[in-house]
Amino acid sequence: MEALDNSQVGTVDTVCLDATVERLEQLMKGMEVLLSDVEQMRSQFGHRAT
């Protein structure tokens, strides 16, 4: 019974880890898009200032 429980816990941990990795990857992509948007805005405002 204990061995079965350990394997189940391991599976749950793996599923949770996979979900966390997916969220982190989505967050990273979102940050990249946000960063590029900020850089575009900065260049636009920079041209207006000069």
Predicted confidence at residue 13, as pLDDT, reads 78
Taking only the tens place, the pLDDT of each residue in 9-44 is 567 678 888 999 999 999 999 999 999 999 999 999
The count of residues in the chain is 50
Pull the structure tokens for residue 26: 């989505």
User: Whole-prediction pTM value?
Assistant: 0.57
Higher pLDDT, 8 or 20: 20
Q: Phi and psi (nearest 5°) for 36?
A: -65, -40
Q: How confident is the model at residue 4 (pLDDT cuts 50, 70, 90)?
A: low
Count of domains observed in the chain: 1
Q: Which domain holds residue 12?
A: 1-50
